[in-house]
Amino acid sequence: MRSVWALAAVAALSVLTVSTTTLADEGKQGGILRIYHRDSPGNASIHEGATYSLNVPFMPVFNNLVIYKQDVAQNSMDTIVPELAESWAWVNDNKTLTFKLRQGVKWHDGKPFTSADVKCTFDMLMGKSQQKFRQNPRKAWYNEVNDVTTNGDFEVSFNLKRPQPSLLALLASGYTPVYPCHVSPAEMRTHPIGTGPFKFVEFKANESIKLTRNPDYWRKGRPYLDGIEFTIIPNRSTAILAFVAGKFDMTFPTEVSIPLLKDVKSQDPTAVCVVEPNNVSTNIIVNSTAAPFDNADIRRAMALALDRKAFINIMFEGQGDIGGTMEPAPAGLWAMPKEMLESIPGYGPDVKANREEAKKLMQKAGYGPDKHLAVKVSTRNIPVYRDPAVILIDQLKSIYIDGELDVVETANWFPKIARKDYMLGLNLTGNAVDDPDQSFYENYSCGSERNYTNYCNKEIEKLFDAQSQETDVNKRKKLVWEIDKKLQEDVARPIIFHARTGTCWKPYVKGVTVMSNSSYNGYRYEDVWMDK
């Protein structure tokens, strides 16, 4: 029995065929795309990382079973297209997802690609194989998968415990490439082998990453580029200066802040720049297990004191979005309607009134103009973390809270949070796909490793499962909205804002699409070419 999703996929496929032919007419072969990279990723293995510093340079090396269509900015179920799969189908009451695989695909080392590679990859992700990843940050994505089975060399099935339409979305993320069975995880960390449009050449830590064109790529005529070179420049101003000076064809994707964007445009008016939401939310993690935030009134007061517009004005010169857990509309697919959002305490437009209410709550808890509450705000020693923390501290002043910034080095951040050795933490949560399953289970379900606050609400947990199994999109949306509202009202992890960032490239660079509801999925770069 075929689901609506499968039909949509077929439709999407036909769209893809049309668009590729038009692109093919325009595209010019050749050239090396030069991009700067914001930092040196620890290794080259996408499955073992949790930062898009890995996805950007290494996604071009791989293929997924399915992928979000690379030239559509907004990721959705409708834009998922086959890649190593030729087609897919939901069978067995939506409890089995079966893929027919592409034949004749070769790994970069010449070995043929088969269904065994797919099984190997996902067995390893589920922790079922002999070989282990050093780290496996997205193991929880496959919680509902019983096992992966093969049928011959070119068919593979995911057998689920219960229907989970979102699995397809997870499989379409840039985070989910297929790894070769014959290469060990350790080798994949230093010298990745894929089936993708570009072959890995070298990775010099803190220096550069080089990729070269895969001449045997299964998609004929692709890629256009002869290669991609990433030069690692952690210092942002040096990097931007270098881009302006023509040392690079493109900036690191979604790494140009709004003030820098202005700078780029003024220095190089020909540069093409886009600003998109990147589905990264800045939020506050609250330690509700210890004083003072074990007091629900103080938690609520804090939520009420937030002036989200001010954050956005300062950080993004107005170009940011207010929302709940899910990325706000229009880029986000699952965002609450405006009226619903504004009914949540602290989201109302009248900041003054909110703060008056917050003050009352604080007074109720025993604080006032003469008795301030001293609070430590912990955050990582990175500007995107630190800057909003500074604003947060300033805003808390208005409700008798004296915040002190506690800057934590990356190495100590996670252990500190895990030890519950903090009061408030300023945190960034990036969402790999704009999908409720990914964000709810990962960040709010009881026992999830990324549920830093240990927020645990069995009621909501049930709603998580309900929306996850719902195949009717509209019904599912309603459920998602309800959950999101509840999470905000519970001050589970108050969301301050959703960021928007810029990407720039020189006008001769063509075929780049910056995605608007994820910053992890759009870097295959096989359609990118240079008009030089």
Site residues for other proteins, window 285-314 (CB under 8 A)? Answer: 309-310, 313-314
Closer residue to other proteins (CB): 109 or 202: 202
CA dist., res. 57 & res. 528, Å (int): 14
Q: Residue 4, interface with other proteins (CB under 8 A)?
A: no
124 binds other proteins (CB under 8 A): no
> Quick check: 418 binds other proteins (CB under 8 A)?
yes
Asked if 450 is part of the footprint of other proteins (rule: CB under 8 A), the reply reads: yes
Helix, strand, coil % over all residues of the chain, rounded to 5:
35, 20, 45
Number of Cβ atoms within 10 Å of the Cβ of 326: 28
Angle at 502 between CA 497 and CA 503, to 5 degrees: 145
Contacts (CB under 8 A) with other proteins, residues 423-442: none
Does 244 engage in binding with other proteins (CB under 8 A)?
A: yes
Shortest distance, CB of residue 8 to other proteins, whole angstroms? 31
Six-digit token pair at 160?
Answer: 């689920």
CA neighbours within 13 Å on the CB side: how many for 34?
12
Residues 46-75 touching other proteins, rule: CB under 8 A, are 48-51
| Residue in 449, 472, 475, 531 binding other proteins, rule: CB under 8 A | 449
Beta carbons within 10 angstroms of residue 351's beta carbon: 18
What x/- string results for residues 212 through 241 when contact with other proteins is judged by CB under 8 A?
-------------------xxxxxxxxxxx
State yes or no: residue 183 binds other proteins (CB under 8 A): no
From the list 115, 208, 281, 287, which residue makes contact with other proteins (rule: CB under 8 A)? 208
Nearer to other proteins, 157 or 281 (CB): 281
Which one among 93, 109, 216, 409 touches other proteins, defined by CB under 8 A? 409
Interaction pattern, residues 248-267, with other proteins; x per rule: CB under 8 A: ---------x-xx-xx--xx
- Asked if 249 and 220 touch (Cβ cutoff 8 Å), the reply is no
**Minimum gap (Å) between residue 397 Cβ and other proteins:** 8
Query: Out of 394, 475, 478, 531, which residue is the one contacting other proteins (CB under 8 A)?
Result: 394
Cβ contact 485:337 at 8 Å: no
List residues bridging with 212 in a β-sheet.
Answer: 199, 227
Whichever of 17 and 235 has its CB closer to other proteins, that residue is 235
Q: How far is the CB of 132 from other proteins (least distance, A)?
A: 7
Q: Which helix (H) or strand (E) holds 186?
A: helix 185-190
Site pattern 460..499 for other proteins (x: CB under 8 A) = ----------------------------------------
Residue type, 257: S
Cα-flanking dihedrals φ and ψ of residue 395, to 5°?
Answer: -70, -35
242 near other proteins (CB under 8 A): yes
The verdict on 143 binding other proteins (CB under 8 A) reads: no
Give the shortest CB-331-to-other proteins separation in angstroms: 23
- Structure tokens belonging to residue 241: 């200066």
Nearer to other proteins, 74 or 429 (CB): 429
In single-letter form, the type of residue at position 183 comes to V
Rule CB under 8 A: say whether 190 interacts with other proteins: yes
What letter represents residue 423's amino acid? M
- The neighbouring-strand residues paired with 408 are 380
Which residue number, 97 or 260, has a Cβ lying nearer to other proteins?
260
130 binds other proteins (CB under 8 A): no
In the complex, the smallest distance separating the C-beta of residue 265 from other proteins, rounded to whole angstroms, is 10
Contact present, 195 and 110 (Cβ < 8 Å): no
- Cβ closest to other proteins, residue 414 vs residue 531: 414
Cβ-proximal residues to 112 (8 Å cutoff; 6+ apart), any chain: 104, 105, 106
Closest contact distance (angstroms) between CB of 407 and other proteins is: 4
405 binds other proteins (CB under 8 A): yes
Measure Cα distances from 226 to 53, 190, 207, 223 in Å: 22, 22, 20, 8
Query: What is the closest distance, in whole angstroms, from the C-beta atom of residue 209 to other proteins in the complex?
Result: 12
Q: How many CA atoms lie less than 13 Å away from 126 in the CB half-sphere?
A: 18
Residue 161 found at the interface with other proteins (CB under 8 A): no
Token pair belonging to 148? 């992966």
Distance CA 519, CA 259 (A): 20
Of the residues 112, 337, 368, 383, which one makes contact with other proteins according to CB under 8 A:
383
Residue 219 vs 386, nearer CB to other proteins: 386
Hey, which residues between 322 and 341 contact other proteins (CB under 8 A)?
Answer: none
Pairing state of beta strands 373-380 and 401-408?
parallel
Q: How far is the CB of 271 from other proteins (least distance, A)?
A: 13
The Cα 249–Cα 507 span in angstroms is: 9
Locate 75 and state its tokens.
Answer: 């990721």
Task: Select the span of 1-9, 18-26, 108-116, 379-387 touching other proteins (CB under 8 A).
Answer: 379-387
Buried b (16+ CB within 10 A) or exposed e, 100-138: bbbeebebbeeeebbbebbbbbbbbbbeebeeebebebb
Q: Can residue 24 be called a binding residue for other proteins (CB under 8 A)? A: no
Closest CA to 487 of 453, 447, 450: 453
Q: Count residues contacting other proteins (CB under 8 A)?
A: 73
